[in-house]
Structure 1
């Protein structure tokens, strides 16, 4: 494709995304699915430019407003991006906006004037407000400022970088070293071991794992290191009975099955049958099907769940959440979720936490996890739980995992009953884990 045609595709994608509630990934998938003639290198360039528009949404918008430009659509943002991030001149941009087939229409005088104003500038500017500099809606900026204070800009800069590809080696099928050898035989190099998760590997972006022998044979699973750390903190042992109450596609279920060496029983539940269908296929590929049972539940009040009072050695609650810890992969989330959504989620999370607690046997453990970075979904919720449930005691993270990475110091820590992970500090997705143990006495 001509450079101008690529820019036209980016504009079309961005405008399509702004007019739908769909995830950005779904918009991209649908766009390319209907245009199979677009080659791989063109897709990568178009996709990268589209996501960069989203990653720089606030700053591009600020510059357009600062220049007195009245439009904030995909065309205006693409022009601003070319000028500010790529250093393109009026003539350079005119070569792409030439009105030829599949290319954007010719620049009009106001656009030429805009490019002249942006010439020599960068996307960052000292006059930008904090919310703009951190690429956050104002309400979310205010919430995160309470948590990170002066470190917020560095934290969000890390969230605004694309994530590498993390893998978990399935020890039911082989070792970390055998997985590396298999991947190298398939022509994949620059493989790193993850710094914290003992069975994790990290690869550069753009690698298609689905065609590798290691993936087809169930030796590896795609899973961020933060999620692997959560499995490590669940500390599921061989012979245990475990409940993964919000199992989704089964990534953590499979991780616990490997830790249990396939001995014991894991009941993986979800309200969506399609997710469990995916988990079933993954379990078969991983060689973990014998110890995993899948069950669709109506909700946290499901009668089957209620019948399992005090039944499980481990209950993992990877609860539905805002997902804001995955901003490296889903940068559009920050613009699609609001305070009302967070309030609704925190109410649901509290109900699931209460229901999950009732399923834990005396001496067993409850693991609460989110891929959220908000206190309302994390610390505030578990602090309420600790006040209300005297039959549970928090388990310090370093008691389970002496070599655990240091958590972000405000407000948690290794000696506290939770671990908060972030890309800035740990190179992972944003993630939160808290662990509790059911004591022998106290109210149910």
Structure 2
């Protein structure tokens, strides 16, 4: 594709996203699904530019307003992006906006004036508010400022960079070294071992893992290091009975099966049959099908699951959440999630926590996890749980995994037993994990 044609595609994608406010990944998937003639290299560049417009949403909007430019559509924003971020000259932009087939229409005088005003400027400006500088809605900026204080700009700068591609090596099929050799045989290099997860590898962006022998043979799975760390803190052992109560697509289920060496029983539950169908296929490819049972449940009060009370050695609750810890991969989330959404999610999380606790056997453990950065979904929720449930005691993550990552130091959380991960501190998605053990004390609700 011509450079101008790629720019036109970005404009169309951005305008579609702003009109529908749909998930950005779905917008891209639908766009390319209807245009299979677009090659892989063009798709990567178009996608990267589209996501950069979202990552720079607040600052680009500020600059357009500062310049008195009345339009805030994709065309205006990509012009501002080309000047402020890419440092393109007016002549370069004019070459792309040339009106040729599939290219944007030529620049009009107001756009040329905008380019002149922006030339020599950068995305950042001292006149921008804290919320604009950190690319956050005002309400979310206020909440996260309470948590991170002066560290918030550094935290959000890390969330605003694209994540690399993390892999988990399936020990049921081979070793980390086996996986590296297989990937290198397929022409993939620059493979790193990730810092914390013992079976993790990291690759540059843009690698298509689905065509590799390692993926097809079930030797590797795509999984962020934070999720791998969560699985490690479950501390699954061969022969255990484990409930993955919100299993989704089954990534953590497969990690548990690998840690258990395929010996024991994992019950993977979810309310969406489609997710479990995908989980079933992945389990078969990974060679873990014999120890995993998938089951659709109606909700946390499901009568079949209620009969399993007090049965499991481990209950993993990777609960539905805002997902704001995945901003590196889903930058549009910050503009879609609101305070009302958080309140609704908290109510659901509280119900799941209560239901999951009932399934844990005496001496067993409950693992609560989210990919959220919101204290309401994490610390505040489990602090309420600890007040209500005296038959559970927190287990410090440092005792489960002494050599593992240390929690992000946040106000009021320095001496707490749970784990908070962030891309700024750990190079992972934002993630939260708390572990509790069931004792003989308390009300046993």
2:183 is equivalent to residue 188 of structure 1: no
CA distance in 2, matches of 1:187, 1:412: 48
How many angstroms does 1:309 deviate by?
1.2
CA distance in 2, matches of 1:401, 1:410: 21
The residue number in structure 2 matching 1:245 is 245
The residue number in structure 1 matching 2:408 is 408
Deviations 1:160-213 (A, max 9, x none): 111010000000111111111111111111111010000000011111111111
Deviations 1:7-46 (A, max 9, x none): 1111001001111132111111111111122222211111
CA distance in 1, matches of 2:421, 2:91: 45
Note closer, same or farther for the CA distance 1:194–1:412 as it changes in structure 2 (3 Å cut). Answer: farther
Deviations 1:44-81 (A, max 9, x none): 11111111000000000000000011110001101101
Q: Conserved in 1, the CA contact under 8 Å of 2:84 and 2:118?
A: yes
TM, length-normalised to structure 1: 0.99
Deviations 1:377-436 (A, max 9, x none): 000000000011010000011110111211111147685321000000000000000000
SS at match of 1:110: helix
Aligned pairs for 1:65-80 within 5 A: 65-80=65-80
The residue number in structure 1 matching 2:122 is 122
SS at match of 2:8: helix
CA distance in 2, matches of 1:11, 1:305: 48
Give ranges in structure 1 of 5+ residues lacking alignment.
none
2:420 is equivalent to residue 420 of structure 1: yes
How many angstroms does 1:110 deviate by?
1.1
Q: Conserved in 2, the CA contact under 8 Å of 1:397 and 1:415?
A: no
The residue number in structure 1 matching 2:345 is 345
SS at match of 1:115: helix
The residue number in structure 1 matching 2:331 is 331
CA distance in 2, matches of 1:400, 1:127: 47
2:374 is equivalent to residue 374 of structure 1: yes
SS at match of 2:331: coil
Q: Conserved in 2, the CA contact under 8 Å of 1:9 and 1:46?
A: yes
The residue number in structure 1 matching 2:53 is 53
The residue number in structure 2 matching 1:385 is 385
Q: Conserved in 2, the CA contact under 8 Å of 1:268 and 1:294?
A: yes
The residue number in structure 2 matching 1:178 is 178
The residue number in structure 2 matching 1:84 is 84
CA distance in 2, matches of 1:347, 1:57: 31
Q: Conserved in 2, the CA contact under 8 Å of 1:412 and 1:420?
A: no
How many angstroms does 1:89 deviate by?
2.2
CA distance in 1, matches of 2:278, 2:290: 16
Name which of structure 1's ranges 150-159 and 1-10 shifts more when overlaid on structure 2. Answer: 1-10
CA distance in 2, matches of 1:158, 1:272: 33
Q: Conserved in 2, the CA contact under 8 Å of 1:397 and 1:414?
A: no
The residue number in structure 1 matching 2:8 is 8
CA distance in 2, matches of 1:42, 1:36: 11
Query: What RMSD over aligned residues (CA atoms) do the two structures have, in Å?
Result: 1.0
The residue number in structure 2 matching 1:44 is 44
Q: Conserved in 2, the CA contact under 8 Å of 1:405 and 1:414?
A: no
Q: Conserved in 1, the CA contact under 8 Å of 2:247 and 2:253?
A: yes
SS at match of 2:52: helix
Name which of structure 1's ranges 343-352 and 400-409 shifts more when overlaid on structure 2. Answer: 400-409
TM, length-normalised to structure 2: 0.98
Note closer, same or farther for the CA distance 1:244–1:207 as it changes in structure 2 (3 Å cut). Answer: same
CA distance in 1, matches of 2:414, 2:180: 31
CA distance in 2, matches of 1:102, 1:262: 53
Aligned pairs for 1:183-332 within 5 A: 183-332=183-332
Q: Conserved in 1, the CA contact under 8 Å of 2:5 and 2:103?
A: yes
Deviations 1:230-249 (A, max 9, x none): 00000011111100000001
CA distance in 1, matches of 2:417, 2:308: 26
Number of aligned residue pairs: 444
CA distance in 2, matches of 1:226, 1:40: 28
Q: Conserved in 1, the CA contact under 8 Å of 2:231 and 2:252?
A: yes
Q: Conserved in 1, the CA contact under 8 Å of 2:398 and 2:417?
A: no
CA distance in 2, matches of 1:208, 1:413: 39
Structure 1 residue ranges (4+ consecutive) displaced by more than 4 angstroms after TM superposition: 411-415
Q: Conserved in 1, the CA contact under 8 Å of 2:148 and 2:411?
A: no
How many angstroms does 1:3 deviate by?
1.3
CA distance in 2, matches of 1:39, 1:412: 50
Give ranges in structure 2 of 5+ residues lacking alignment.
none
